[in-house]
Amino acid sequence: MGFPLEVIVEIIKHVLCVSDEDFSSSVYGSKFGRPHEPTSNLLLVCKAWMRIAMPYLYECVVLRTSGQVEAFMDVMNDKVIGRELKPLVRRIRLEDHFGMLTKSLLDLFPNILELHIPYPRHGGEDIGGLCDAFSKIKPERIAIGFVGGSDLSEFGAHAYFINALSNAVKHSWTTLRSFDVYQPYPFSSHYNNLHIDTLYQALAVHPTLKRVALKAHPQRFTLDSKMIQCLFDSTTLETITLPNHFSLLGWHRENGFWRDIQSKSVPDYPLDCRFIPSSSQRSYRFNRFIIRRIVYFHLRSHAKQFEGEERVSMLRRRMCDLSLVSQDFELCVESETNLDITGEQTYELFQTGVTKLNYLEHLTIDANYGTIHCPSKKSGRKRTQDKVVEGKEAGTTRERILIPTIKALNIIGDIHESDMKSLLNCVFGDVEYYDCNQLYMNLPNLKTLHLDQIDRDGEALSKLSGGHPGVKKLIIGDCFMELGRRHFIQYSKPSLSILKRLDLSGFPALQEFKFSSVDHWPWRDRELKGWYHFIDSFEEKYKLKVYNKKNEPWKKRVKTREQRKESARMEDIIYM
């Protein structure tokens, strides 16, 4: 009994399919040059295997010698065989230059989607006809490979190669979406004669190009910073990938820094941008042109260069989840939907950008880093028409901040009674300690309120209850963890008294009350029977459902006195 067809397909795909990483890897030490059994042997097993393997075998064609190119073209020029096999070829990887053979080859495949071609090995290499060859195809991805030992002492072929690429990017490759480019060593004496800037400029303004991956010499950790800035200034590119050994921003390296590319240097000479590891240095320098074009960017805790709103505003507007952990970063984003604020200076971070959070739906405020305070506003001395005016000390700013898009608010951290006034004032402007309604009225569309790590005296929780006409879900944190942990039973009475003081009459739309720190309901714990009576009456009073951390609903287990009398009466009737 043979293998199922699906298993055979998976085996053949594993052997014949060329991954994107292998397709765009350096020619130097290419895996395709290693001796191994021909993969075409899979076609000789049987007719079924041949039918399955044929599309995968010809989907990616790797050509390493001129003899292989000629043999491949002979097969494809056959009227019968060529008509069947040509549509199967989607990717071509050339591991050398073959002169006019390259043009003849690409003439046969105008619809290929991906092309890999190496950088010239030396200045006298035969690359004639390359401009015409590039004009015949409409690829979506181009990968420029690196050839070991590339010599720029004679730059004729190199200049011609870059010129051919530039012309193709400008005029022929109208469907290009991805470009992997190898950049020559920028400190070569002939580097300026290559006119590589024309290629980068063409890539920067290409209307359909979305991704550029930069490659560098494995032994030289240097790229041309002016060319990089040209790409980062692009308004169409979405992703720019840098070599693994050249961490330009160092976001994957915690113990290093990047030398500012705007340091003093000769204007027309490439700047030396190196990643310098250091075990003691833990700060990064960022360039504003580079920051502007980053798509996936997670800010760490060392953004010292962001001192003004004009630089911060260059952050990508597409970011949906920004975690702020820097004390010196001024928030300025325009399309946030999920904001998580942590740090000692929460007020300064939030106040800077609160008016720009037009799309914010989920807000998390962490008060774990000490008391959050709202500093008094002092006007000081100021000049008006050459006269010195003495300013008086003013109180807290009475400014109402309205965020109509907020749907979920999560306040975490050790929230104590002494912090409550500062917390409400500093975050929401004009909220007083005993006027918690203002906190929620500033969020007219609030649906979920999550309070975590409330102090055990319960004053903060009772004062924070306030009211809101639209809140449907209230989540309370570890204040009541003893419900699910026996060693916390000694705290059950104080916690129960806290909950009894909680007044939810100001939440007419409330439907769900959740204890996020209770893993399991203590159904059979007699020491917590006081909770049973209260939660039963709690659900009945406010007409809501109570859930634990695992979203298990509370089930009524304790009968009231009237219910017990009714049960006894029914039993008497049954046994009469």
Q: Give the domain ranges of the chain.
A: 5-292, 361-373+404-563
- The alpha carbon of residue 346 and the mean position of all alpha carbons in its chain are separated, in whole angstroms, by 23
Beta bridge partners of residue 240, listed in sequence order = 212
pLDDT digits (tens, 9 = 90+) for 36-73: 556 667 777 777 777 777 877 788 888 888 888 888 88
Alpha-carbon span 354 to 423, nearest angstrom: 15
SS3 of 195, please?
coil
Sign, CA torsion 62/67/71/74: positive
pLDDT band at 9 (very low <50, low <70, confident <90, very high): confident
Check whether 146 has a pLDDT greater than 70: no
Q: What is the secondary structure of 273-318 as a DSSP string?
A: --EEE-SS-------HHHHHT-SS----S--TT--SHHHHTTS-TT
Q: Residue 179: in which H helix or E strand, if any? A: strand 178-182
Position of tokens 């952990």?
Answer: 325
Size of the chain in residues: 576
Q: Computed over its alpha carbons, how large is the radius of gyration of the chain? A: 34
Check whether 432 has a pLDDT greater than 60: no
Position of tokens 């075409």?
Answer: 40
Check whether 171 has a pLDDT greater than 80: yes
Query: CB atoms < 10 A from the CB of 503, how many?
Result: 12
Check whether 505 has a pLDDT greater than 70: yes
Selection from 402, 385, 388, 480 nearest residue 446 by Cα: 402
pLDDT for residue 250 = 31
User: Higher model confidence: residue 473 or residue 366?
Assistant: 473
The CA distances from residue 74 to 77, 202, 550, in Å, are 5, 36, 67
pLDDT for residue 107 = 86
- HSE-CB for 44 with a 13 A CA cutoff: 5
Residue 49: DSSP 8-state: H
Which range is most confident: 102-106, 190-194, 315-319, 558-562?
A: 102-106
**Can you read off the two tokens belonging to residue 234?**
């692009």
pLDDT for residue 262 = 32
pLDDT band at 455 (very low <50, low <70, confident <90, very high): low
pLDDT digits (tens, 9 = 90+) for 69-92: 888 888 888 888 888 888 888 889
- Quote helix, strand, coil % in the chain, to nearest 5: 35, 15, 50
- The CATH topology of domain 361-373+404-563 is 3.80.10
pLDDT for residue 301 = 27
User: Higher model confidence: residue 44 or residue 94?
Assistant: 94
Sign, CA torsion 481/486/491/492: positive
Can you list the pairs that 254-261 forms with residues at least 24 positions away whose Cβ atoms lie under 8 Å?
A: 254/282, 254/300, 255/279, 255/281, 255/282, 256/281, 257/281, 257/282, 257/283, 257/284, 257/285, 258/284, 258/285, 258/286, 259/285, 260/285, 260/287, 261/225, 261/228, 261/229, 261/287
Which range is most confident: 97-106, 146-155, 404-413?
A: 97-106
Check whether 347 has a pLDDT greater than 60: no
User: Higher model confidence: residue 499 or residue 103?
Assistant: 103
Q: Residue 144: in which H helix or E strand, if any? A: strand 141-145
pLDDT for residue 131 = 84
The amino acid that residue 413 corresponds to is G
Question: What mean pLDDT is reported for the chain?
Answer: 63
Q: Are 303 and 328 in contact (CB under 8 A)?
A: yes
Check whether 108 has a pLDDT greater than 80: yes
Which range is most confident: 7-11, 436-440, 550-554?
A: 550-554
pLDDT band at 291 (very low <50, low <70, confident <90, very high): very low
- The phi and psi torsions of 246 (rounded to 5 degrees) equal -120, 85
Alpha-carbon span 243 to 175, nearest angstrom: 25
pLDDT for residue 314 = 40
User: Higher model confidence: residue 188 or residue 4?
Assistant: 4
CA angle 470, 476, 481 (to 5 degrees): 165
Can you list the pairs that 494-497 forms with residues at least 24 positions away whose Cβ atoms lie under 8 Å?
A: 494/456, 494/458, 495/456, 495/458, 496/530, 496/531, 496/534, 497/458
Check whether 569 has a pLDDT greater than 60: yes
Average pLDDT over residues 434-439: 45
The CA distances from residue 200 to 46, 116, 124, 143, 170, in Å, are 50, 18, 24, 14, 11
Q: Are 167 and 133 in contact (CB under 8 A)?
A: no
- For the chain, percent of residues with pLDDT exceeding 90: 1
